[in-house]
A = this chain, B = another copy of it.
Amino acid sequence: MWFMRQAGRSLPEYHRARGDTALLEAVARPDLVTELTLQPVRRYGVDAAVLFSDIVVPLAAIDFGVDIVAGTGPVIERPFAGRADLDRLRPPDAEELAHVSAAVRLLVAELDVPLIGFAGAPFTLASYAVEGGPSRHHSRTKAMMLGEPGLWLDLTERLADVAIASLRAQVAAGAGAVQLFDSWAGCLSPDHYRRFAAPASRRVLAAVAELGVPAIHFGVGAGELLEDMAVGADVVGIDWRVPLDAARSRLGPDVAVQGNLDPAACLAPWEKVAAEARSVLAANAGRPGHIFNLGHGVLPETDPAILQRLVDLVHRDGHAVEP
């Protein structure tokens, strides 16, 4: 078990270590990334570390003009608007990813558990690039996707190259697994997902398979897309909207699942959190291939003491049943 966003704003030691360092500045400092990544492993005894980073880091590395604004998220100075902008997108080279590789190497030397690296999936990165920031309706993205499908597919292929370069660097430096985050995929119909998002994501997953590490593929609100997202993935991350037994029956026995406690449930009193966590375990029914996690990232207002009890509960009760 581990928690998406286990490192970060819910931990007092995170605020002490990061202070007012801007996020992209923090990510550029391997010593700080190492400390922030280790904090939740030390505190909770989770079974994996996840690199402290952001999905736009490789875009920042190639000077695409991205900033991360507190309270807003990634903001792109000059959004992707047409074919001329394709030239601004290329895979980052080893030097441009040196800070990432250095952090991963430091971490792997320190850790007794695997380090999970990650990248943003092409669709989600494309939405940030086109909208210029987080978007509620992804209107421009979808208008481009439908209206200029050739340009759109070129864009997602460039972003697949960006993701592949980033994941290769992380695995080469010692990451033992990767997660491909398609945070916004759930805004697509299955038909649009298959035509406009899946091709580039599958190329990323195939590149990960060649590296010999397992790939977790995760989207939010992506219940209708699970079968499509499973193609080429070892693990599918499930948000809390789909009960694990339903996810299992859609995906079959050959794919592992990750999830799926509602992060907001962790804000309730402990007995309620415990009941919710036991429901997740019961829905999985002891099937092997379950990584316990939340259905999305830890909310900043979460009490770390609750997450600690959750780790203890799952470590005590969350065993696979021998078939």
A226-281 contacts to B (CB < 8 Å)? 240-243, 246, 262-265, 267-269, 272, 276, 279
Contact of A186 among B221, B264, B299 (CB under 8 A): B221
Dominant SS at the A interface? helix
Chain B residues lying within 8 Å of A139, measured Cβ to Cβ, are 264, 267, 299, 301
In Å, the complex CA distance between A141 and B265 comes to 10
- A105 an interface residue at 8 Å Cβ cutoff? no
A99-154 contacts to B (CB < 8 Å)? 137-143, 146-147
Chain B residues lying within 8 Å of A241, measured Cβ to Cβ, are 186-190, 221, 223-224
Question: In the assembled complex, how far is the CB of residue A56 from the closest CB belonging to chain B, in whole angstroms?
Answer: 19
In Å, the complex CA distance between A276 and B196 comes to 14
Which partner residue on chain B sits nearest A141 by CB separation? B264
B191 touches A243 (CB 8 A): yes
Contact of A142 among B243, B262, B269 (CB under 8 A): B262
Chain B residues lying within 8 Å of A223, measured Cβ to Cβ, are 223-224, 241
In Å, the complex CA distance between A187 and B269 comes to 20
In Å, the complex CA distance between A101 and B224 comes to 41
B224 touches A137 (CB 8 A): no
B189 touches A272 (CB 8 A): no
A189 touches B240 (CB 8 A): yes
Chain B residues lying within 8 Å of A268, measured Cβ to Cβ, are 142-143, 146-147
Size band of the interface chain A makes with B: 35 or more
- A15 an interface residue at 8 Å Cβ cutoff? no
Chain B residues lying within 8 Å of A267, measured Cβ to Cβ, are 139-140, 142-143, 147
Which partner residue on chain B sits nearest A302 by CB separation? B139
Which partner residue on chain B sits nearest A269 by CB separation? B147
In Å, the complex CA distance between A144 and B140 comes to 36
In Å, the complex CA distance between A252 and B195 comes to 28
Chain B residues lying within 8 Å of A263, measured Cβ to Cβ, are 137
B301 touches A243 (CB 8 A): no
Which partner residue on chain B sits nearest A241 by CB separation? B224
B264 touches A142 (CB 8 A): yes
In Å, the complex CA distance between A223 and B221 comes to 9
Question: In the assembled complex, how far is the CB of residue A230 from the closest CB belonging to chain B, in whole angstroms?
Answer: 17
Contact of A299 among B137, B146, B188, B279 (CB under 8 A): B137
In Å, the complex CA distance between A187 and B241 comes to 7
In Å, the complex CA distance between A80 and B206 comes to 50
- A192 an interface residue at 8 Å Cβ cutoff? yes
Contact of A146 among B187, B189, B246, B265 (CB under 8 A): B265
Which residues on A are within 8 Å of B, measured CB to CB? Answer: 137-143, 146-147, 186-192, 221, 223-224, 240-243, 246, 262-265, 267-269, 272, 276, 279, 299, 301
Instruction: Give the 5 A-B CB pairs with smallest separation, nearest first.
Output: A146-B268, A142-B264, A143-B267, A147-B268, A146-B272
